[in-house]
Amino acid sequence: MSASPLYPSFDFEGPVFRAHEGGKLGVHATQPLRDRDDLSLLYTPGVADVCRAIAEDPSLSARYTARRNTVAVVTDGTAVLGLGDIGPLAAMPVMEGKAILFKHFGEIDAVPVCMETGSVDELVEAVARIAPSYGGINLEDISAPRCFEIEERLKERLDIPVFHDDQHGTAIVVLAGLINAATVVDRPLADLRVVVAGAGAAGVAVTGLLQRAGVRDVVVCDSRGIISPSRADLTGHKHRIAASTNPRGLSGQLSTALVDADVYIGVSGGTVPEADVARMAPRSIIFALANPDPEVHPDVAHRHAAVVATGRSDFPNQINNVLAFPGIFRGALDSGASQITEAMKIAAAEAIAAMVPKPTAEEIVPSVFAPGVAATVAAAVARLAGG
């Protein structure tokens, strides 16, 4: 290891830092610039005709600029992966990585937009003002609960798709995995008793999408236990969770929620004691999605559950957002959709699930490198957009 004396914990000569040196993105031209004739076509005077045409009909910008195939990956760096509030500069390597995934899996040009942390009003205004350059907005790694309001206000204000991947990408792939996990254990999706541990961005979206897909019994827990109307400490979005979940009126800690539960979905971190896991129903399903340390280690989970999934690539059944967001945006951009609807999200989940026609305990979702995932999701989304 070759460490800097100023930063002894970092190996600047190692493969990780070398791979990131100079950044991971560049800009390339799609038209050749060989001579004066090319220059007059691509820039002045030729470009003026295109500008005048777009000024008369703004919809032409989707045909004659890169806007239609370009997405802004917007963050303020307040909730980056497992790193937390590290700020916009430190978030940039993650956003560059996200842009690579957009390009590789969806053939979409994505541009990192790392912004200074501000109020909800400031962030909404800033994103809205840069939106004319893009065909879609992917919100990324913005802390809860303000991420909910930011997304909703941008969806109301803009006529292009706005998608908070930490919420909806996670929810879509969880639903896809659960559809197939339910098949493995031979249970109707609607009859499952589901416990969601975590009431942040991912937990709220997972809960909502499962309910829209027909799951009737969802109990959500935060760090203080089961979210229910009896709690006096609920604020904002947790009041809404309390009003629409926990049909059996449970109260207490996660350990209580897990008694006879069919499904555990962890999107919160921490560790669930094995004694609590053992209280789940026979042939249960465990999605322990915290990275890098799942809430229930797969070795422990397999002692009690029939199907186990994590967010890690070194275990079977990786619940990875890359199964969803490239295809979601590809379908939305190609169809000219102005928003990504709840029906599109469910269709995307069903399309992902269908790519594993014979699910097993070891395979409930396709590999992120399985051919055709993004195209299949894109087609499902575009059909609902009328594309």
Q: List, for residues 310-347, the tens digit of each pLDDT value.
A: 999 999 999 999 999 999 999 999 999 999 999 999 99
pTM, to two decimals:
0.94
pLDDT, position 216: 97
What is the mean pLDDT of the segment spanning 107-128?
Answer: 97
Those residues whose C-beta lies under 8 Å from the C-beta of residue 139, and which sit 6 or more positions away, are 74, 75, 147, 150, 151, 154, 162, 163, 164, 165, 166
For residue 109, pLDDT over 60 is answered with yes
Q: List, for residues 247-268, the tens digit of each pLDDT value.
A: 999 999 999 999 999 999 999 9
pLDDT, position 385: 87
Q: Decide if 380 contacts 328 (C-beta within 8 A).
A: no
What is the mean pLDDT of the segment spanning 359-379?
Answer: 97
pLDDT, position 236: 86
Q: Would you place residue 286 in the very low, low, confident or very high pLDDT band (cuts 50, 70, 90)?
A: very high
Q: Would you place residue 19 in the very low, low, confident or very high pLDDT band (cuts 50, 70, 90)?
A: very high
Mind telling me the catalytic residues? 43, 98
Share of the chain above pLDDT 70, in %: 98
Q: Edge-to-edge strand order for the sheet containing 193-197?
A: 225-226, 217-222, 193-197, 263-266, 284-288, 305-310
For residue 1, pLDDT over 50 is answered with no
Instruction: Please state the separation of Cα 386 from the chain's center in Å.
Output: 24
What is the pLDDT of the chain when averaged over all its residues? 95
Q: CA 382 to CA 140: how far, in whole Å?
A: 23
